[in-house]
Amino acid sequence: MSKLAVIAVGGNSLIKDKRKISVQEQYAACLETAQSIVALIKDGYHVVITHGNGPQVGFVLRRCEISKYELPVIPLDACVSDTQGEIGYLLQKAFANVLKQEGIKKTVATIVTQVLVDGNDPAFKNPTKPIGTFLKEADARLHEKRDGWKVIEDAGRGYRRVVASPMPIDIIEIDAIRTLVNNDIITIAVGGGGIPIVKEEDGSLKGVEAVIDKDYASGLLARELNADCFIISTAVDKVCLNYGKPDQRELDVITVKEAEELLKQGQFPAGSMLPKIKALIAFAKETKNTAIITSPKNIFNAVKNQGGTRIIL
């Protein structure tokens, strides 16, 4: 039977240069990503792709800021759904074109994905995730009063909005995703960590102003699908110990136990490598399958045991 790979692509990997942020330039980055993943498809893998959306949500929020006196602010859950559709479209088009070049006939589809969080998650009481651009104090106070934002002053650089980052607990559209995978459709899902949703007392769904970490959500999806491998694509070929120091050392293969010990030592900074390593550990422990972290260009080689950092049970 064909193997299943869940591949998490970072939103920043679609914007490699802050001066090159147009849709056309993001599409060019999507093409590069598609080319590296299609090599796996040619090798017989089913694939599910997830992606980040931090910069893209920032663009939506910036447009809202520019038009704040003319148009309503877009709620954060709607910002995530907007960017899921936009990035999904770019990836769909890129994959379709690369597949055509390779003579492969496959369908690509994006699922606008809702992800359930707990309304009582402690993160809601202590929002810490900065989003959007820096604001002047007057604008920050306007949003604070009019829109209910929590804003903080950031080291003299201005004010920023902060929101909760609760843990994902369920993927609402998981059955639809399974159906696509079982029909060998290349599936793009859980974009930006998913649209954050809570359940009301009557069971109805409600979007909330939060950001779900895309690595945790991608790991949850990989576990739910019992993927054969879970790959997090990031800016480095391999995870490094003592990163940026003279004694920096790359890791090839480590066990879950070794990875947990490195976490305790503080080797992986929060907001960077920490959630990635935690998501990979959780996947390897639950499925007993291989978890990988590597750069986009190295995905195929890493899956074939020729690169990247692998976490095994």
Catalytic residue among 276, 289, 307, 308: 276
Per-residue model confidence as pLDDT tens digits over 107-157 = 999 999 999 999 999 999 999 888 888 888 998 898 888 888 899 987 778
Told to judge if 129 belongs to the known catalytic residues of this protein, a careful annotator would answer: yes
Told to judge if 12 belongs to the known catalytic residues of this protein, a careful annotator would answer: yes
Told to judge if 120 belongs to the known catalytic residues of this protein, a careful annotator would answer: no
* Domain layout of the chain by residue ranges: 4-117+170-308, 127-163
Share of the chain above pLDDT 90, in %: 68
On average, the pLDDT of the chain sits at 92
**Residues 228, 225: Cα–Cα separation, whole Å:** 9
Catalytic residue among 11, 191, 193, 219: 11
Q: What is the mean pLDDT of residues 152-181?
A: 93
Domain 4-117+170-308 falls in which CATH fold?
Carbamate kinase (3.40.1160)
DSSP code, position 124: G
Told to judge if 276 belongs to the known catalytic residues of this protein, a careful annotator would answer: yes
Catalytic residue among 129, 192, 219, 278: 129
Higher pLDDT, 223 or 148: 223
Q: For residues 310 and 252, is the Cβ–Cβ distance under 8 A? A: yes
Catalytic residue among 58, 193, 214, 298: 214
Q: Collapsing DSSP states into helix, strand and coil, what is residue 239?
A: coil
**Residues 51, 122: Cα–Cα separation, whole Å:** 25
| Residue 277 CB-density burial (10 A; 0-12 exposed, 13-18 middle, 19+ buried) | buried
For residue 73, the model assigns a pLDDT of 82
For residue 177, the model assigns a pLDDT of 98
Higher pLDDT, 196 or 15: 196
